Structure 1
Amino acid sequence: MKKSGWILVCLTFVFLFLGPTAQASGNVEFSIRGILPENQIDKEQTYFDLLLKPGAKQEIKIAIKNDAAVAQKFVVNINQATTNSSGQIDYSSKKAPSAATIYSIEDVVQAPKTVTVPPQSEIQVPLSVTMPTEKFAGRIMAGIQVLKLIEEDGASVTSQFGYILGLQLRNTLTQVKRELKITNPKAAISFGETAFSVNVENMTLDAIGKMTYTGKITKAGKKTALQKINWENRSMAPNSNFDLVFAMNDQEIKPGAYQLHLQVTDGKGNVWQVNESFTVSSKNAKEVNSAIIPVAASSQTPPWLYGLVGALAALLVLVSGVLLKSRRPQAKAIKELNS
């Protein structure tokens, strides 16, 4: 088959199976900034980092600037800082407090749910802060998230276009002794695939940064790693936890005894080391392995595809004939011009 024929077949399959590509405009048409008060700890930062006494109340403000030629409506979320599955601090999701959370941000910071900003204008939005009555060392961390509301078919839909401004609240600048808890190694399903996982929990009311994770899973009494992990430059939010995953890439997990070898370090020289045995039961292994899609079933060609290929081949023959007829006069003209 000629090159032009292959190109035609490839393009046909692209349009049939991929469909139209969704595109984002990227034209956010607004911005936000924090109006930092006098009790801002670090004046060089653009996020809020405030020192407040126990039980203190304070109003802080953010500015929302609308650059559009029409009025725009915005949603304001106050999101508790969490640690995501990649082992990084995350401010982007509005989640219910976990069992590890000491102070829920919903009890500490109140903000209007929606705000309307006139065209090509900037308004200041007040947020109310009420500190816990008991003194604490460490910090409460959150993200002030502003998202644009878009009208679609008469309904308001929250856009993914937005900004997040950090918020830290402290009673004292005293350093907190860090404590990490590593528990519950087990076989698990992660993102629809077989895996081993272990829960990592930051037990202190302070963030941990510049973390490294070095570890492996072995059969009990063996040195050969079934899977390894080597993460660098990770972080954890205060009083948060996440499941550290050793992805097995759809390898079958067999029942039996296993060993977790894991070392975690941070930017302050702290080291946490765990060597723990655990057992995968037959029932657990069966549940986890159910996530594996058999290769034979997944690779089997559906019958309708043969009919489609046949139709495309017939179409290709027809189009190739037309292209050859139409290209002959053009080829002659090019030859004459180059002679």
Structure 2
Amino acid sequence: MRRKIIYSLFLLIFCLLSKKNIAQANELTFSVSPIIPENQIDKKVGYYNLLLDNGKTQDLTIRVENTSNDKISIKTNIVSAKTNSNGVVDYNNRKIKKDLTLKYNIEDIAKTPKIITLNKGESKDIKIHLTMPSERFNGLISGGINFKDISTEQKTDIKHKDSVSINNTYSFQLGLLIRNDTTPISEYSKQKNGLKLTNVKPSQSNFRNVIDINFQNPLPNYLNQLAVKARIYRHGKKNILYEKNSKLMQMAPNSNFNYSILLGNGEKMIPGKYTMEAEAYSELSPTGKYKAKFKQEHFENYKYRWKFNKDFIITRKSAVKFNNSDVTINKVNWALIFIILVIGLLAMLAIILFLLLLRKKNKEEVTVEQIILDNSGSKTVICRTITYKEYKYLKNNGTDIAIISK
């Protein structure tokens, strides 16, 4: 047994050593270094945070270097900052729809080359061309400059007996913030318009029933350290049906996201009228006037607070739709149950019919010939009429008997 184990280990080591072209899963194929310009507000950060007047243009320089042993192609694009469903700012997701309050989209302001091709060890300085809106604005225009090595996507995997190929995609994001001036959004505007409730509706997340509360940040500034307490009630009732508490979220300027409250595994949506109540807080501060406590934690002070109350309806159509597609709900297959019941009923009727026919046949009279022995031991054949049931009984007990007519 020990010899087999040693042999197996030796074989495994030999196979691993003999493999060629093994790609390292964590291998970085390129590096990105922003050249910070003079109009950078904070030169200590590793992303762009620029002060640029309205109507002005500027070219930003970014050095991109190929750190791999192969020729690579890098795809670049600019994406507006948005807020994803986890309450996190996303600089790379084009699938998230832009908010209606977004007046200036950084995707229209900043332009970048689409593809950068670099030979082994080569570096290039690329230009990001900025064209500021003609109107002056207060606040931020924000997004991300994205770089993605698409070389591996263009290659076709060829499997060799003595090699293993692993395709690894490497991407990089560089923040880009632009403003006309450093004047912050007023405290009054933040408290009055810093967070809005746009909608409450039944929905699904990852094929699980949820109630979506859509929050909107309509201002051109980041909403930091966002905390939310949300509860769902039956309309006119006081018992909490569903609730969710979250802290340390962040919203991008002029964005919205769905704050989803899970109904619970296996719990069905029930049609009816409901009420949503929520309290939201932003910006932790020792001097903040709004106190909030989450679960067993101590009270914390926030600078801003918003309260929301909204009724909404779950229709029967929506409930059926979402319940049918919720993977945690045990589905009742009524069609299968109906088929089983029909088959069972037909089988029962067949058995009953068989028993009735058998009973009828047993009562029928038949004429039989039966051989009997007299006192002297001689065989005598007699004919008589008996029921079919009696005939079966005699036949099964060894009597020499035969049916001659029915």
| TM score, norm. by length of structure 1 | 0.76
The aligned residue for residue 172 of structure 1 is 181
CA contact (8 A) 1:52 1:171 kept: yes
Identify the residue that residue 44 of structure 2 maps to in structure 1.
44
What CA distance in whole angstroms lies between the structure 2 residues aligned with 1:281 and 1:49? Answer: 47
Q: 1:261 maps to which residue?
A: 277
Residue 160 to residue 80, structure 1, CA distance change in 2 (3 Å): farther
Q: Deviation per CA, 1:60-92: give whole Å up to 9, x if none.
A: 011111112222110011111000000111012
User: What residue in structure 2 maps to residue 120 of structure 1?
Assistant: 121
Deviation at 1:135, TM superposition (A): 0.6
Distance (Å, rounded) in 2 between the aligned partners of 1:215 and 1:115: 47
Letter in 1 for 2:111: Q
- 3-state SS, counterpart of residue 205 of structure 1: coil
In structure 2, which of residues 320, 330, 341 is the aligned counterpart of residue 295 of structure 1? 330
Aligned to 2:211: 196
Alpha-carbon distance between aligned partners in 1 of 2:83 and 2:247, rounded to the nearest angstrom: 15
1:229 is aligned, of 244, 248, 270, to 244
Please name the residue that 2:310 is paired with.
Answer: 276
Are the aligned partners of 1:147 and 1:163 in contact in 2 as well (CA < 8 Å)?
yes
Check whether the contact 1:28–1:162 (CA below 8 A) recurs between aligned residues. Answer: no
CA contact (8 A) 1:252 1:289 kept: yes
2:358 alignment partner in structure 1: none
Structure 2 partner of 1:252:
268
Q: CA offsets, 1:188-246, max 9 Å, x none?
A: 12221111111111111111111101111111232322221111110111111111110
1:94 CA drift (Å): 3.0
**Number of equivalences:** 273
Written as runs of structure 1 = structure 2, the 5 A alignment for 1:66-77 is: 66-77=66-77
Confirm or deny: 8 A CA contact 1:148 1:159 kept in the other structure: no
Mapping of residues 143-154 of structure 1, within 5 Å: 143-150=144-151, 151-153=154-156
| Shift in Å, 1:290 | 2.0
Q: Distance in 1 between matches of 2:120 and 2:50?
A: 32
How far, CA to CA, are the matches of 1:145 and 1:159 in structure 2?
Answer: 17
SS in 2 for 1:174: coil
Q: CA deviation at 1:159?
A: 6.3
Q: CA deviation at 1:24?
A: 7.3
User: Partner residue of 2:220?
Assistant: 205
Confirm or deny that 1:242 pairs with 2:257. Answer: yes
In 2, Cα distance between equivalents of 1:44 and 1:184: 40
Within the candidate set 222, 225, 229, 1:214 is matched to: 229
Q: Is the 8 A contact 2:199 2:213 kept in 1?
A: yes
In structure 2, give the amino acid aligned to 1:170.
Answer: R
Distance in 1 (CA, whole Å) between partners of 2:63 and 2:168 is 19
Counterpart amino acid of residue 223 in structure 1: K
Worse overlay, 207-216 or 283-292: 283-292
Matched, 1:60 2:76: no
For residues 61 and 206 of structure 2, what CA distance do their matches in structure 1 show? 39
- The SS at the match of 2:322 is helix
Where structure 2 has 5 or more consecutive residues not aligned to the other structure, the ranges are 1-22, 158-166, 284-301, 334-406
CA distance in structure 2 between the partners assigned to 1:239 and 1:170 by the alignment: 14
Offset at residue 251 of structure 1 (A):
1.1
C-alpha separation in 2, matches of 1:38 and 1:222: 60
Quick one: which amino acid aligns to residue 109 of structure 2? V
Bigger radius of gyration, 1 or 2?
2
Distance in 1 separating the partners of 2:24 and 2:90: 23
Contact preservation (8 Å) 1:100, 1:241: no
- Report the CA distance between 1:136 and its aligned residue: 0.6
Question: What is the TM-score normalised by the length of structure 2?
Answer: 0.64
The yes-or-no answer on 1:31 pairing with 2:40 is no
Shift of the 59–243 alpha-carbon distance from structure 1 to 2, 3 Å rule, reads: same
Distance in 1 between residues matched to 2:93 and 2:213, nearest whole Å:
23
Indicate the percent of aligned positions where both proteins have the same amino acid. Answer: 29
Aligned mates of 2:242, 2:26 — CA distance in 1: 40
CA distance in 1, matches of 2:275, 2:120: 61
Give a deviation string over 1:39-75, Cα, whole Å, max 9, x none. Answer: 0001111100000000110000111111122221100
